[in-house]
Amino acid sequence: MTPARLMPFLLAALPASALAQDSANPVAPSAQGDVSVTIYNNDLALVQDVRQLSIPGGVTRIEFPDVSAQIRPETLSFAAPDTAIIEQNFDFDLLSPAKLMEKAVGQTVTIVRTNPATGAETREQAKVLAVNGGVVLQIGSRIEVLRDDGLPVRVIFDKVPPNLRARPTLSVTVDSGRAGTRPASIRYLTPGLGWSADYVALFDRKAGKIDVQGWVTLTNATGTTYTAAKTLLVAGEANASGGQGYRSGPYRAQPPVLRRAGTETANREQLGDFYLYPIAARTTIANQQTKQVSFLDVQGVPARAGYEYRVGWLDSADQPQSAKSMVSFSTSGSGGLGDALPAGTVRFYMKDAAGASQFIGENAIGHTPMGSELALATGDAFDVKVKPVVEKRERLSSTRWRTTMRYELTNARKEAVTVDLTQAGLDFWNDDTRIVSESIVSKRVNSDSTRWTVPVPGNGGATVTAVFDTRY
Amino acid sequence: MRRIWAILIVTCAGLATPSYAQVTVISEKPDAISVTAYRDPDRGAGGIDARYPQGYALISETRTVRVPAGDAVIRFEGVADGMIAVSAVVTGLPGKVAQKNRDARLLSPAALLDGSLGNRVHFRRTDPATGRVTEEDVTVRSASANALVVETAGGFEGLQCSGLPEGLSYNTVPADLSARPTFSVSVSSPAAATAQVTLTYLANGFDWGANYVARVAEDGRTLDLFAWLTVANGNSVSFPEAELLAVAGKPSVKSNFRQLMTVPEDFTLAIRCWPLPSYDAPLPPPPPPPAAPMMEGAYDIVVTAQRRSESLMAAPVAVMAVQEELGDLKLYRLPVRVDVNASGQKQVALLEKRNVPFHLYYAADIGSYDYSDEGPHPLLRRIRMENRKDSGLGLPLPSGGTALFEIAGEQPLLVSTGEVRDHAEGETVELQAGDSGQLSYQAEKLEQRGDRARWRLTLTNANARTANAEITLPLAYKLTAKGAKLRRRDGAWLWATQVPGHGTAVLEFQSNAD
């Protein structure tokens, strides 16, 4: 029951050097060097990039193209032998015709007029006086507004000002003690890279077994491709912020997924208390790519189907309500999945009568230690229902009430089922709630709730009654 | 039907010296396909919105793929546009699937320009007077986010700033752009083989529901119940010759399918210039808003089977869905293959039961004793059926909309529409049959003394026939009724009585706020 390890994924060799730091040409080979990416669950990644740079002696400005477009520049750290950092800059003054014109104020440009009747061109030199809601030009001794007659006028600029760039550019100015090529490393944090796990669980109800495949899902929305990156996934959040964007809906008490936290240690590397999931070979994480890599493949793990229904205090229904269909299994090394599970979504499938896999529901799990007991609701059962009814409310004194509850359980399946029926809310308004009588013996789960394990015959029903004595 | 393209592409990942060549195999389209529709989990009971279906489907495609020995990338084309890539499962490949990738960088005007940054493109300018076209090679110097600056032989210029018709043309499409999000897997096969591969994935933009048509027989004692299975596909991909299934029940859905599906990319190309005087020629028109991927194209509602309200049960139904069990859910399978069209709705027969006995009664739910009554209110007509075999039904009834027809003269006419939830076998099914114009109730407070109040509840019947009435009253008070028996049902007091034709029924009771 050992989980399958990551498959090696071969990629082209790294470029021998990245001397040409041509920031203007992203189609040219990437300027990235030896890239390592460490990705956390909460849309955050640490990128380390070691580039071979030829740095002359003295003060030099080094540009770093091909960093994440979403870089948090304040987290940048630079290191290269025999250099001292003077300053780090992140420039995002981007080149556009409007910026080009703005920066040309006071300078001379060439204008080309085209005669709309004949197509004849005339060239003139013009000085840009101001760019405020329109471009004011001085041509010889005349003052003109550019294209105020609507006729075609081309404007040709001699050069682009140095700090107008095509892309946001990261640069470091260093004082180098010597000239020469050496490894220069940059590290930074960036949002836009994230990962979670997706599990495919094929449930065989009759055999009481599941086959589980685990995939780590990487998403890259940083605007940058990371070429041949050493990739490490950390099952944890480096700081606590950010939601998962889960579907919101009407509040319904959900049974907890994790029933018993495990006490086994998985055979994986750890960072602090986080498990690490390295991807075995270097991989290219393309921009706008969702990449899935297998990390777990286990067959025939024992699993159990069950039903649960939770009743809030004084809940009464005139229509039967579906019980939750549950699948329970273990992540233990013996008789379980045998691994720690990173947080993600488990999708359950089941074979139909023709042998094809059909989706039967999904649920979310948190980071789950090895050796845990999990119970996941896959959905609402069509055939197993519960109708809770408040039968009677009697006042015994000014602070004591007696409540008679009846729970009608029905099962339209052929085979008998067992429903875990939980009455909750026993200490929500009240304290010292006692069960005066009950038709079958319940197990008090905690101060707030008590649970009956009710067998319901096939194509039949069962009724549980209970009388509660509450004080408030 | 089967066309497999094996194209050798040397993927060098943008690097100068590829150390190793990888084969890309393109699987153009599936040989066979199966669509299992699931309902919108956030929708209540009742009918569906065929134009904007918010449920999902499990799509299972069988494809024939010629897998080479060694490492290869298999690209799957023609998948549903609502594909939720993280749910995809690929089985049947000879080797192990190492990676699954979905690339969402799409070919768009902005991406074309962005991908050409720093490259030479052709700058084309047309003289409006003479029609003379001049073309020169320029270098793109700014990214698409703001606007376009190109470097010409003479200097730098802004695109579409001069007022002359100007445009760019490109030599190639950047390598990593595709027309649609593509799904591919990396596989390492020990030997070359032709494999039957099954690609299974969840896709957004489907929904289904039942549509019940109940027709009351002339004697008013039984009804014929018929239901359509209505499936909607909001994707722009059609699934011809598909096996069609539908799942009833409520599978749990925790992740946000819509969010997993969408591509967070801005496709619009905004070319902006320096400020022009306001009395100048109009600015280039603003870029069109990004089209919502789901709403493209016109919708055709294809009602495959005709709605036959006049002869509801008359024409026989040739094809009826077959129900089977799927864990705790109900699976409906169509016995024949059908075309599931893009942006279309399809209806096939779901179930049919004739001569189902029912109980017609008149109901009112008196919610509180504290309101001041304003006069008689109509009682609600309801139809109650037992979903048991010995009562003419006895089958799972998936949720959907209902239409109740009764015969007036010769014709069946619509009496009431409503909706029903999922009903398991053995449950009691109730259908709304409209407000009664003939039977009404009135609650009058006769006396209030401290916590005690005395009430009179009067039911009146303008019909000739005796009517059954069921009135529920809250359980929160102690009730003492004179001359009638109240019993408890479903957490409320129930007064079940008969109202004689052209007569009244009266209940006097006392409430005690104990």
Which A residues in the span 204-263 are in contact with B, Cβ-Cβ below 8 Å?
205, 213, 215, 217, 221, 225, 227-228, 245-247, 249
Residue A20: per-residue pLDDT: 33
Concatenated DSSP letters of B373-441: P-S-EEEEEEEEEE-SGGGT--S-B--EEEEEEEEETTEEEEEEEEEE--B-TT-EEEEEEEEEEEEEE
3-class DSSP string for B239-297? EEEEEEEEEECEECCCCCHHHHHCCCCCCCCCCCCCCCCCCCCCCCCCCCCCCCHHHCC
Q: Counting runs of H as helices and runs of E as strands, what totals does chain B give?
A: 2, 32
Q: Give dist(CA A37, CA A222) in Å, integer.
A: 13
Residue recorded with tokens 């790519």: A289
> Tell me: the pLDDT tens digits for A13-30?
333 223 333 333 434 467
Look-up of token digits 């029940």 = B249
Q: What pLDDT, on a 0 to 100 scale, did the predictor assign at position B1? A: 39
Of residues A69 and A142, the one with the higher pLDDT is: A142
On the question of pLDDT at A117 being above 90, the answer is no
**Residue A200 in domain:** no
Which of A156, A175, A192 marks a domain boundary? Answer: A156
The closest alpha carbon to A197, from A376, A358, A347, belongs to A347
Name beta bridge partners: B386.
B428
Query: What 8-state DSSP symbol labels residue B113?
Result: H
d(CA B228, CA B243): 17
Q: What pLDDT is recorded for position B370?
A: 56
Looking at the complex, report in whole angstroms how far the Cα of residue A84 sits from the nearest Cα belonging to chain B: 32
The residue behind tokens 């393209």 is B5
Mean pLDDT per 10-residue interval, chain B, length 514 residues:
38 36 82 94 82 92 92 88 88 86 80 79 84 86 74 86 85 77 87 92 93 90 92 88 94 85 62 70 45 39 41 65 93 92 88 93 79 76 93 93 86 87 92 88 84 86 92 78 80 89 89 70
Handedness of CA A266, A270, A275, A278 (dihedral sign): negative
Q: CA-CA distance, A99 to A104, in Å (whole number)? A: 8
According to DSSP, the residues that pair with A219 across neighbouring strands are A194, A290
Number of domains in chain A: 2
Integer Cα distance of A72 and B143 in angstroms: 21
Q: Order the strands of the B133-140 sheet from edge to edge.
A: B156-158, B149-151, B133-140, B120-126, B166-169
Instruction: Show residues of chain A in contact with B87, CB under 8 Å.
Output: 198, 347
Q: Is A274 helix (H, G, I), strand (E, B) or coil?
A: strand
Contacts of B506 (CB under 8 A, 6+ apart): B456, B457, B458, B459
Confidence (pLDDT) at B514: 57
Which pLDDT band, with edges at 50, 70 and 90, does A436 fall under? Answer: very high
Place of tokens 């495959």: B304
Estimate the share of chain B in helix, then strand, then coil, as percent rounded to the nearest 5.
Answer: 5, 50, 45
* Rounded Cα gap, residues B428 and B194, in angstroms: 54
What residues contact residue B91 under an 8 Å CB cut-off, 6+ apart? B197, B198, B200
**Residue of B233, B213, B414, B397 whose CA lies nearest to B315:** B213
A361 close contact with B: CB closer than 8 A:
yes
- Say how many C-beta atoms besides its own lie within 10 A of residue A242's C-beta: 13
% of chain A beyond a pLDDT of 90: 45
Is A453 domain-assigned?
yes
Segments making up each domain of chain B, as ranges: 1-103+178-351, 109-169, 358-512
Q: For the stretch A62-73, what's the b/e string if a residue is b when 16 or more beta carbons lie within 10 angstroms of its beta carbon?
A: bebbbbbebbeb
Mean pLDDT of chain A: 84
DSSP A75: G
DSSP B329-361: EEEEE-SS-EEE-TTEEEEEEEEEEEEEE-EEE
Task: Specify the amino acid at residue B385.
Answer: M
What is the CATH number for A316? 2.60.40
Would you say residue A314 lies in a domain?
A: yes
Q: Is the pLDDT of residue A430 over 80?
A: no
Question: What residue type is assigned to position A133 of the chain?
Answer: G
Domain termination site, one of A156, A173, A203: A156
Q: Is there a contact between B256 and A245 if contact means CB atoms under 8 Å apart?
A: yes
Average pLDDT over residues A273-289: 85
Interchain proximity B202–A390, CB inside 8 Å: no
Q: Taking a contact as any Cβ pair under 8 Å apart, which residues of chain B between 280 and 299 contact chain A?
A: 280-281
pLDDT at site A139: 92
Nearest to B360 by CA among B221, B461, B465, B219: B221
Q: What share of chain A is helix, strand, coil (3-state, %, to 5)?
A: 0, 55, 40
Q: Rounded to whole angstroms, what are the CA distances from B264 to A219, A226, B106, B293?
A: 11, 19, 11, 12
Nearest to A284 by CA among A63, A76, A73, A29: A29
Which residue in the set A96, A380, A382 is minimally distant from B142, CB to CB? Answer: A96
pLDDT at A309: 94
Measured between alpha carbons, how far is B76 from B182 in angstroms, rounded to an integer? Answer: 7
Specify if A427 maps to a domain.
yes
| Residue keyed to tokens 């050097």 | A17
Question: How far does Cα B196 stand from its chain's mean position?
Answer: 30
Q: A232-243: per-residue pLDDT in tens?
A: 998 877 654 433
List chain B residues with CB under 8 Å of A364: 254-255
Distance from CA of B312 to the nearest CA of A (A): 29
Q: Which residue among B154, B426, B488 sits closest to A412, beta carbon to beta carbon?
A: B426
Domain that holds residue A443: 303-340+375-471
Spell out the residues 6+ positions from residue A2 whose beta carbon is closer than 8 angstroms to its own. Answer: A338
Place of tokens 């096996």: B243
Domain assignment present for residue A345? The answer is: no
What does each C-alpha distance from B303 to B213, B229, B312, B336, B346 come to in angstroms? Answer: 16, 12, 16, 17, 6
Q: CB-based contact (8 Å) between A321 and chain B?
A: no
- One-letter amino acid at B368 equals S
Cβ neighbours around B498 below 10 Å, total: 14
Contact A96 B103 (CB under 8 A): no
Alpha carbons within 13 A on the beta-carbon side of A252: 17
Which residue of B14, B273, B325 is in closest CB contact with A98? B273
Residue B261 · residue B204 · CB < 8 Å: yes
- What Cα–Cα distance (Å) separates residue B471 from each residue in A220, B367, B368, B433? 61, 10, 13, 16
Interface pTM, i.e. ipTM: 0.77
Asked if the structure places residue A311 within a domain, the reply is: yes
A320-364 pLDDT, tens digit each: 999 999 999 999 999 899 988 999 999 999 999 999 999 999 999
The answer to the question of residue A138 being in a domain is yes
Quick one: DSSP state of residue B192?
A: -
Name which of A12, A246, A349 is nearest B15 (Cβ-Cβ). A12
What is the predicted pLDDT for the residue at B322? 93
The Cα–Cα gap between A299 and A195 comes to 24
Reply yes or no on whether the pLDDT at A370 is more than 80: yes
Contact residues on chain B for A150, CB-CB shorter than 8 A: 163, 280-281
CA angle B168, B170, B173 (to 5 degrees): 135
Helix (H) or strand (E) holding A99: helix A97-103
Is the CB of B450 inside 8 Å of chain A's CB atoms? no
Note the Cα B385 to chain centre separation in Å: 29
- DSSP H/E element including A87: strand A83-91
A110 touches chain B (CB under 8 A): yes
Mean per-residue pLDDT, A75-101: 86
Cβ-defined contact of B256 to A305 (cutoff 8 Å): no
pLDDT value at residue A257: 82
Interface of B with A in 41-100 (CB under 8 A): 42, 58, 60, 71, 85-87, 89, 96-100
Question: B119 and B139 in contact (C-beta within 8 Å)?
Answer: yes
Helix (H, G, I), strand (E, B) or coil at B7: strand
> A396 CA to chain B: closest CA distance, Å?
11
For B508, residues 6+ apart whose C-beta sits below 8 A from its C-beta are B446, B454, B455, B456, B457, B481, B482, B483
CB-CB contact of A348 with A317 (8 Å): no
- Partner residues linked to B103 by β-bridges: A289, B182
Put simply, the answer to whether B163 touches A151 (Cβ < 8 Å) is yes
Give the burial class of A182: count Cβ atoms within 10 A of its Cβ; 0-12 exposed, 13-18 middle, 19 or more buried. Answer: middle
